[in-house]
Amino acid sequence: MKNTFKLNIVLTAVLTSVGLTACGGGSDDNSTVTVQPEQPSALTDCMWQNSFSSKSGTGEDPLNIAFPDSNVNYWSSEFAVPEGAKVTIDGDYPYSRHFSLVSYTAEGLRVNSLLDSTIAPNKGSVNPFIPGNNRLDKSRSYTAQLELGELPENPVENTLYAPKTEGNKVAMLYRVYVPNKNMDEKGNASFPRFKVQLANGEVKTGNDACNVLQVKRTPIQKTTTISEATSLALFNQQLHEGFPAQQIPTWYKAFSGVDNIKCIYKFDPVTKKPIDKCEGQPVTPKLNYWATPDNEYVFAMTSRRLGKVMELRGKLPPTVKTLNNDPLFEKTDVRYWSICSNELITTATNYCLYDEQIKNVDKDGFYTIVASLPEDRPANATEACGVNYLQLSPRGSGYMGEDGKAVGHGDLGIFIMRNLLPDPEFKQAVQNVKAWGEEKTVMGDYLPDMKYTSKEDFEAKGCN
């Protein structure tokens, strides 16, 4: 087993020519943007690169890393601010459930979120993310500032803070959650546009702003807590059948990468000693892997060696309805909710269900989700029978080596459930869990109960 427990892996996936038309071509990962003004923007403008994606559900997308949500669109930007320069961001609120601009450290630790509902609109415009406002108003522009330095206790309105680093390097992600039906992946809004005022007063916009900011034209780096070799060594401990899945399926709150590795593999990567259980272990509430500050997560490890079908039953917190171009933005317990099937080793996402896709609840407000491979899907795991279905992937952990068959890499699964921006009065949110072992006590019925079952046993329940 290796003694090095932290390795940043540079993702070398090659973007398509469509994604690079506005930002130049070439293969040098460390090169910067030299924009040709006559080349129109196709998918991204020169500030933004295609980023995390899980649209195919296979886990094989080259940018399917860091456990992305398949109902969210992501773009990244890495650049360097000239000393003494001021950076302004002009944007338009998208027609969507949520959007944000989030700054990060180079290691993928989240720093600050410029959150949709907190961004004051320009004069004459409307912020459609304020409860009660018209979501479909056509006047929807805003202006924000980028500030390098520590996040203050009382942040200035319309300001995104990024850590001050050597060379003033900045990393950020732009997210758009669930665009309205029949709208593009950006929610029918343009990308946030950058304007740079240099120390000498000269102002740069458009392609000139990208050039002066030395925008990287490569995807954001993949950051992992431990190397793949170490992950495989820990996986291969096989402390029990189905390891590292819990034999009794159990949800745990996601904390720092080191904490999560410790809980999943029952091994402390700092002390290099085994642990008996997650409950009672100290935790650090700092998420990495390019997570957003607006979400908190619980995860559960499962294995088809312990049961080929998973049955989940819980309550869905009230969420904002937006997909069908709903006109008003309502106050709800949670802005967005989803549950996804994922790959532990690759950090890819396979399939997700989000709140508006949960079509069936019983008279008490409970949903039932059945998760399996397609060939193991019970005949009554259908909407007609009141059941919501979440597909699993035969890729399991995502490690496809021949040596992984004996220890069950193809059988492993990891569920991740998100709560985005809960109302402060909603006490059952993931955000209110502060330690492992508190999950069910805090969340109650909003943390779904899970159990292993089989196709035959679930079909024996009949329909409805």
Encode pLDDT of 175-202 as tens digits: 999 999 999 999 999 999 999 999 999 9
For residue 464, is it within any domain?
no
For residue 346, is it within any domain?
yes
Could you report the per-residue pLDDT of 370-422, keeping only the tens digit for each? 999 999 999 999 999 999 999 999 999 999 999 999 999 999 999 999 999 99
Q: What are phi and psi of 212, to 5 degrees?
A: -70, -25
For residue 66, is it within any domain?
yes
Same domain, 359 and 426: yes
Rounded to whole angstroms, how far apart are CA atoms 90 and 82?
19
Same domain, 49 and 126: yes
Same domain, 190 and 297: no
Percent of the chain with pLDDT over 90: 77
Q: Which of 158, 191, 222 is the last residue of a domain?
A: 222
Same domain, 304 and 396: yes
Could you report the per-residue pLDDT of 246-301, keeping only the tens digit for each? 999 999 999 998 999 999 999 998 899 999 999 999 998 877 778 888 999 999 99
In this predicted structure, what is the pLDDT of residue 44? 53
Q: Which of 198, 222, 246 is the last residue of a domain?
A: 222
Same domain, 94 and 188: yes
Rounded to whole angstroms, how far apart are CA atoms 23 and 21?
6
For residue 356, is it within any domain?
yes
For residue 163, is it within any domain?
yes
Q: In 3-state terms, what secondary structure has residue 116?
A: helix
Residue 145 token pair: 């500032």
Which residue carries 């272990």 as its tokens?
Answer: 281
In this predicted structure, what is the pLDDT of residue 218? 86
Structural domain for 263, as ranges: 226-459
Rounded to whole angstroms, how far apart are CA atoms 82 and 208?
13
- Which of these, 373, 371, 375, lies nearest to 448 by C-alpha position? 371
Give yes or no for residue 423 having a pLDDT over 60. Answer: yes
DSSP 181-210: TTS-TT-S-PPPEEEEE-TTS-EEEHHHHH
Q: What is the pTM of this model?
A: 0.88
For residue 95, is it within any domain?
yes
Beta-sheet pairing, 366-372 with 388-391:
parallel
- Domain count within the chain: 2
Same domain, 330 and 343: yes
Give the residue, 342 or 35, on which the prediction is more confident: 342
Same domain, 437 and 327: yes
Give yes or no for residue 30 having a pLDDT over 80. Answer: no
